[in-house]
Structure 1
Amino acid sequence: MRWLWTPAWIARHVAMVVLVVSFLGLGWWQISRATAGNSISWGYAVEWPVFAGFVVYVWWREVRLARRNAEGAAESPADATDPAGSPAESTAAESTPAATTGSRPAVRRPVRVSRVPATAPPPAEDADLAAYNDYLSWLNANPGARPGDYPG
C-alpha cells in the first residue's frame, strides 16, 4: 500500500477530493437556486452529483488497477529477471493473457504492425463512367457552355 502515498498518487487523491467537494458544492448551490424559483437549476442540481460520482468511480478504478498491477509485480518478480527462461516459454506465456494474471485477462498495449500499402486492382472499363467523365471534362473545358451544348 506504499504506492498509494507516492507524490503522484497524493496529487490524485487531492484532486479527487477537491473535485468531489466542488461538484457537491455546486450541486448544493443549484438546489438553493432551484428552490428560489429557477426551474432549470433542478437539472443541474442532479447533474453535479453525477459528475462527483463519476470522479469517485474513475479514482476507484485507477486505485484498483494500480493495486492489481502492484500485486502482479510482487507475485512474479522472477519472471521479469529470469535470464534462463527460453524464448518459447516467454512467448507461450504472453500469448495467453489469462496465464499471467490468473483468471482475468491482462490489459496490454496494442501491437503496432507496419502496414504495407495494398496495390489497387486495375480499374475495370465502364463505358457509362467513361462517357460521364468525358462530359464533365467538356463542361470544365467550356465554362460558358450549357449542358445541352454538349456534342457527345
Structure 2
Amino acid sequence: MRRLWTPAWIVRHVAMVVLVLGFLGLGWWQIGRATAGNALSWGYAVEWPVFAGFVIFVWWREVRHALRGPARPDAGEPADAGARPAGRPVATATRPVVRRPVRVARGPATADVGEDADLAAYNHYLRWLNDNPGAQPGDYPG
C-alpha cells in the first residue's frame, strides 16, 4: 500500500476526488435546471454522473495496476530466456513484439568507394546504440 502514498499518487487521489465531486455537483445542478423546465438538462443530468463513474473506473484500474507490480515472467519460458540481453522485447501470447520494417534497396549495388571517417564513426555509434538498447545517447563511450 505504500506505493499508493507517493506524491504522484496523492495528486491522483486528490484529482479523482475533485473531479468526481465536481461532476456529481454539475449533475445535481443540471437536475435543478431540468426540473425548472429545461428539457435538454435531463440529458446532462445523466451525463455528468457517467463522467464521474468513468473517473472512478480509470482511477480504480490504475490502483489495481500499481498494486499488481511489475510483470512477472511466464513460468512456461525456456531455460535460456535469461541469456537474452536486458531491455529486449519479449513476445507473449497477449503482447506480440512489433518491429519496424526493414527497407532493402532494389537497385544495383554501388561500388564501395571507401568510408569517410565521420561516416565510420557514426556507423560505430549506431552499432553501439543497437547493441545497448537501454542506453541513452549520452552514455556513448566514443
Normalising by structure 1, we get a TM-score of: 0.54
SS of structure 1 residue aligned to 2:99:
coil
RMSD over aligned Cα atoms: 3.1
Higher relative CO (Cα under 8 Å, sequence separation at least 6) belongs to: 2
- Say if 2:100 is the partner of 1:114: yes
- The size of the alignment, in residue pairs, is 97
- Say if 2:52 is the partner of 1:52: yes
1: CA distance, partners of 2:61 / 2:83: 29
- Larger Cα-atom Rg: 1
Relative distance call for 1:119 and 1:5 in structure 2 (3 A) is same
2: CA distance, partners of 1:14 / 1:66: 17
For 2:81, which of 80, 89, 99 is the aligned residue?
89
- Say if 2:19 is the partner of 1:27: no
- 8 Å contact from structure 2 (residues 91, 97) kept in 1: no
- Say if 2:5 is the partner of 1:5: yes
| CA-CA distance at 1:114 after TM superposition | 2.8
1: CA distance, partners of 2:53 / 2:97: 34
SS of structure 1 residue aligned to 2:69:
helix
Query: For structure 1, which runs of at least 5 residues remain unmatched after alignment?
Result: 77-85, 98-104, 121-152
Relative distance call for 1:89 and 1:112 in structure 2 (3 A) is closer
| CA-CA distance at 1:119 after TM superposition | 7.8
1: CA distance, partners of 2:27 / 2:47: 7
Relative distance call for 1:25 and 1:91 in structure 2 (3 A) is farther
User: What residue in structure 2 maps to residue 64 of structure 1?
Assistant: 64
2: CA distance, partners of 1:20 / 1:37: 26
Moved over 4 A (4+): 94-97
| CA-CA distance at 1:19 after TM superposition | 0.2
SS of structure 2 residue aligned to 1:10:
helix
Query: For structure 2, which runs of at least 5 residues remain unmatched after alignment?
Result: 85-89, 107-142
The structure richer in helix per residue is 1
**Identity percentage over the alignment?**
64
SS of structure 2 residue aligned to 1:15:
helix
